Amino acid sequence: MQGRLLQEFLKKSDISDVLDSALAGKRPLGLDDCIRLVKSDDAYSMGLAANILRQRLFGDRITFVNNIILNYTNVCVTYCKFCAFYRPPGHEESYTVPKEEIVRRVATSREMFGITQVLIQGGHNPNLKIEYYEDAFRAMKEKCPEVGIHGLSPSEVDMIAKVERSSTKEVLSRLKAAGMDTFAGAGAEILEDSVKEQISPLKIKSGEWLRIMEEAHNAGLKSVATMMYGTVETEEDRARHILKIMKLQEKTGGFVCFIPWSFEPNNTEMQAQGLIKYPSGGLQLLKMIAISRIMFYGLIDHLQSSWLTNGIGMAQLALNHGADDFGGTLIGEEVVSATGARSTELTSDRIVAAIKQAGYRPAERDNLYRTVRNF
């Protein structure tokens, strides 16, 4: 009875045919389908369908990772207009964390919080050679072999390759050999060069991001894919971004998770220039979570609820719209916190409580979504 009532409700939606196809497991959904979803105002129907798809995969189980984020340098020469974190070389507020301090932070966090992952990301620092990363990764693995290294981004790898006058393929191979377990997927923003020219003109183009990500997958590095929405992109741009991730996943199978997150304009150049005054808001988050589940169903299993830029309450709602992962504890995060929007530290106890409050069963996982323990 409940299933028939749901079907009757969904039939009244302007996107009922797309939702029916998704629920029936018909693939592939295409660009036109995705554009219709992004343009539709029927977030409720999308959420219902996406939640059914999540339940089919995971039941009432929601995961999270106990980790720290280590922003090893804020020195950056790409000057992205959406970033409040970076400082140019020589700036009085610029820093680079010494390798010994990196190891100390990881070891201390392992002892104090029991972390199983370190997410290491930073600016595009032209003064850092690849040995900085290799030495840090090897030392981390020697001191804390139980902690997975979830590291860097395609644009950071591109920067290292330029410094070394090497290929990105060689850089990825060396980083993996030094101990990098999985590849972080930051720096995608929106994979349309017309958008990148406005918000990050000095950063690698969309094709380069996709190429480096494919090289990582071919090297045996699993990764996440991201999307930062809410800047100057159009609805069609968002859809094209999702389709590009889908096509690469169909080719390599290397993405383990997708993370859509909203741009936070506070303290950024884009806000100062009056381009973007306010964040996208909660409804857009729920829509993008639901659309991601619908479009990636059968391709990318895991979908993060994006508490970092939207807060715990919205992340809990996102669990009812298709997300199956709460993300990480992110102790020590500095990039989003530089906007001053909200506190970006969350302990594992608070995440477990938030998942239970939303009516789900929490489980801690590692880099590759293997279960560490159930609660």
Residues in the annotated binding site for (3R)-3-methyl-D-ornithine: 153, 306
Supply the angle between the helices 99-113 and 130-143 in degrees, to the nearest 10: 30
Give the residue ranges of DSSP H helices in 253-344: 269-272, 282-296, 307-310, 312-319
Indicate left, alpha or beta for 82 from its phi (over 0: left) and psi (-120 to 50: alpha). alpha
Please report how many Cα atoms fall inside a 13 Å half-sphere around the Cα of residue 183, on the Cβ side. 31
Residue set of the binding site? 76, 80, 82-83, 153, 189, 306
**Measured between alpha carbons, how far is 172 from 221 in angstroms, rounded to an integer?**
9
Using alpha carbons, select from 342, 316, 345 the residue that is nearest to residue 328.
345
Burial of 163 (0-12, 13-18, 19+ CB in 10 A): middle
Mark the binding-site residues for S-adenosyl-L-methionine, compressed into ranges: 82, 189
Please answer whether residues 130 and 174 qualify as being in contact, where contact means their C-beta atoms are separated by less than 8 angstroms: yes
Annotated binding-site residue numbers for [4Fe-4S] cluster:
76, 80, 83
For residue 28, say if its preceding peptide bond is cis, omega within 30 degrees of 0.
yes
Q: Please spell the DSSP secondary structure of 213-242, one letter per residue.
A: HHHHHHTT--EEEEEEESSS--HHHHHHHH
Q: Cβ(277)–Cβ(267) under 8 Å?
A: no
Q: Per DSSP, what are the bridge partners of residue 77?
A: none
By C-alpha distance, which of 295, 292, 298, 279 is closest to 325? 292
Residue carrying the six token digits 């020219």? 197
User: At how many degrees (to 10) do helices 348-357 and 312-319 cross?
Assistant: 50
Cα-trace Rg, the chain? 20
What string of DSSP letters covers 14-75?
TTHHHHHHHHTT-----HHHHHHHHH---HHHHHHHHHHHHHHHHTTEEEEE-EEEEE-B-B
